Amino acid sequence: MQVTQPKLLFADQAGRVMNHDTLLPAARTGAWLTDVQESEWIPLPDGATLTWLPGTKAVGIDPKSGEWARLGEDAYAVGALLPQGFTRLLLPGYVKRDNDLTLPLFGYTAVGWRDGKFVVAADRTANPEPWNPAAISDTEIEAAVARVLAEHPDNRLFKHISGCALEYGCMTAKNTFLGRIEGALPVSSTCNAGCVGCISEQPDDAPFPSPQTRLQFWPSPDEMADVMLTHIRANPEAIVSFGQGCEGEPSTRWPHIVQAIRHVREETADGYININTNAGMTKAITAIVDAGLDLMRVSTISAMDEHYNAYYKPRGYDLRSVAESLQYARDAGVYTSINYLVFPGVTDREEEVEAMVEFLQETGVKLVQMRNLNIDPEYYLARIPTQQGDLLGMDAVMEIFKEECPGIRIGSYTVVPPVGWPRRALSARQA
Ligand code: SF4
């Protein structure tokens, strides 16, 4: 059956989105314009949003000649912002009008219009439903926040997270108040890295703001344990996670995290204690693992030193330290994953894939969480080493990981370990 080819979307200066009658959407991989294969299109998922890209010119493809076609002065590029559960395969096709204008920190994805519906160049990598913002109503969360704050009036951490839940609409923060799936435990205001696209702190001269404001106080171990126990008692299968978008690097507070974990594990063997970390402080990570950590998610953008260092700007550590932290956690029975910041045209370069396969095999990571990197493509590409090697495609990257690392899972967010995975809390109690 003949499938209608999607048409190009563009926006005017007021941000009104329109479709072109004939031109097909151009997309981008890294700095290169490309077309979109039929197999790369999926319907725009629930919870996705469209955005126009200020300072850009939309680019299409003439279906007859196959030539690139730029639209008029008043036509801006349009991209989609995907919800949890979806991996972006290609960026929107555009050229910059003004190279001095830097786009805000979002994960821009190629989008098109077909038979009256929006389509995007993406892959459904995990079940999006648990993290669909529509899953929680405003009245429900407002009531839960009011109840918990009334029950814990002196806990500053609950107070902070309530702002994240009600003002930022952070799903992890909302989960904390509703005893759902995975809850937030931000604890640190400092970091041992200086990521180019940090969402909680940007240098004063950065051309875009950080979307989140970093925590400005130090929660005590008792405040941490109170939030963890409240969540776990509400849901014995809950995940409580140190390391949130509104903080620095949690392991910089390892002595207090160790106290909090010990306090919780004295009270209960239920729930899963997780840390989202850059894992650069290996000694700190080993202490947190020894205290009773269950899950560890390590954020990374590459297994190649030059690229990693150019993006993370690590202070006092390197990728070797990160690998050692992962190996220590693995050997101690912690279920480990990576929060892989991915970008089409970089992540799917042959040498990046080879290096990451080696890193995954060496560290025994169990889950790769594909995380669309939120950043202006030009800004990012100008700050990392020039990419070499063939482009394999983002879909192929996920297949190669599964082939080369048997048993590894590909997902989009932290999940409880598979059935049969030994519970550290129980074995610690039986010891
Ligand atoms: S590790 Fe996290 S908090 Fe630290 S600079 Fe990077 S993104 Fe920001």
Residue 278 Cβ < 6 Å to ligand 1: yes
CA of 57 to the centre of ligand 1 (A): 32
On the question of pLDDT at 99 being above 80, the answer is no
Q: What is the pLDDT of residues 366-397, one digit of tens each?
A: 999 999 999 999 999 999 998 778 999 999 99
Task: Decide which of 86 and 204 is more confident.
Answer: 86
Least Cα distance to 47 among 164, 113, 130 occurs for: 130
Q: How confident is the model at residue 173 (pLDDT cuts 50, 70, 90)?
A: very high
Q: What is the pLDDT of residues 316-339, one digit of tens each?
A: 999 999 999 999 999 999 999 999
DSSP 51-88: EEETTEEEEEE-TTT--EEE--TT-EEEEEEPPTTEEE
Residue 200 Cβ < 6 Å to ligand 1: yes
On the question of pLDDT at 57 being above 90, the answer is yes
Predicted confidence at residue 430, as pLDDT, reads 60
Predicted confidence at residue 1, as pLDDT, reads 65
Among 44-53, 73-82, 210-219, which is the least confidently predicted range? 210-219
168 burial type by CB count under 10 A (0-12 exposed, 13-18 middle, 19+ buried): middle
Q: How confident is the model at residue 184 (pLDDT cuts 50, 70, 90)?
A: very high
C-alpha to C-alpha distances, 108 to 79, 193, 347, nearest whole angstrom: 5, 25, 15
Phi, psi of 382, deg, nearest 5: -75, -15
Residue 245 Cβ < 6 Å to ligand 1: no
CA of 116 to the centre of ligand 1 (A): 41
Query: What's the whole-number mean pLDDT along residues 354-369?
Result: 98
The number of the ligand 1 atom at minimal distance from the alpha carbon of 194 is 5
CA of 107 to the centre of ligand 1 (A): 17
Name the residue with the closest Cα to ligand 1, atom 6.
195
Predicted confidence at residue 160, as pLDDT, reads 96
Residue 191 Cβ < 6 Å to ligand 1: yes
Residue pair 81/111 in contact by the 8 Å Cβ criterion: no
CA of 20 to the centre of ligand 1 (A): 40
Name the residue with the closest Cα to ligand 1, atom 3.
248
**Residue among 189, 198, 215, 318 to mutate when testing ligand 1 (max atoms within 8 A of CB):** 198
**Residue among 195, 317, 373 to mutate when testing ligand 1 (max atoms within 8 A of CB):** 195
CA of 297 to the centre of ligand 1 (A): 13
Predicted confidence at residue 98, as pLDDT, reads 75
Residue 249 Cβ < 6 Å to ligand 1: yes
Residue 212 Cβ < 6 Å to ligand 1: no
CA of 198 to the centre of ligand 1 (A): 5
Query: What's the whole-number mean pLDDT along residues 58-73?
Result: 94
How many whole angstroms separate alpha carbon 77 and alpha carbon 90? 14
The number of the ligand 1 atom at minimal distance from the alpha carbon of 299 is 1
Predicted confidence at residue 431, as pLDDT, reads 57
Query: What's the whole-number mean pLDDT along residues 233-258?
Result: 97
Query: What's the whole-number mean pLDDT along residues 350-370?
Result: 98
Structure tokens at 122: 């993406």
Element (H, E) at 356: helix 350-363
Specify the CATH architecture of the domain 136-430. Answer: Alpha-Beta Barrel (3.20)
The number of the ligand 1 atom at minimal distance from the alpha carbon of 214 is 3
Strand ranges of the sheet holding 272-277, from the earlier edge strand across to the other edge: 182-185, 239-242, 272-277, 295-300, 335-342, 367-372, 409-411
Q: What is the DSSP letter of 162?
A: H
Q: How confident is the model at residue 427 (pLDDT cuts 50, 70, 90)?
A: low
Among 96-105, 154-163, 346-355, which is the least confidently predicted range? 96-105
C-alpha to C-alpha distances, 322 to 261, 296, 304, 313, 397, nearest whole angstrom: 22, 12, 12, 14, 22
Neighbour tally for 20: CB within 10 Å: 18
**Residue among 192, 196, 201, 380 to mutate when testing ligand 1 (max atoms within 8 A of CB):** 201
Name the residue with the closest Cα to ligand 1, atom 7.
198
Query: What's the whole-number mean pLDDT along residues 32-47?
Result: 96
CA of 299 to the centre of ligand 1 (A): 9
Express as a percent the part of the chain with pLDDT over 70: 98
On the question of pLDDT at 428 being above 80, the answer is no
Predicted confidence at residue 424, as pLDDT, reads 84
On the question of pLDDT at 233 being above 70, the answer is yes
Query: What's the whole-number mean pLDDT along residues 186-198?
Result: 96
Q: How confident is the model at residue 73 (pLDDT cuts 50, 70, 90)?
A: confident
On the question of pLDDT at 2 being above 80, the answer is no
The number of the ligand 1 atom at minimal distance from the alpha carbon of 312 is 6
Predicted confidence at residue 100, as pLDDT, reads 79
Chain Cα centroid distance, residue 267: 32
Query: What's the whole-number mean pLDDT along residues 192-205?
Result: 94
Residue 195 Cβ < 6 Å to ligand 1: yes
Query: What's the whole-number mean pLDDT along residues 213-217?
Result: 91
> Rounded to two decimals, what is the model's pTM?
0.96
The number of the ligand 1 atom at minimal distance from the alpha carbon of 192 is 4
Predicted confidence at residue 429, as pLDDT, reads 61
Domains of the chain, by residue range, sit at 9-124, 136-430
Q: What is the DSSP letter of 131?
A: G
Name the residue with the closest Cα to ligand 1, atom 8.
198
Query: What's the whole-number mean pLDDT along residues 55-65?
Result: 95
On the question of pLDDT at 241 being above 90, the answer is yes
Return mean pLDDT, the chain: 95
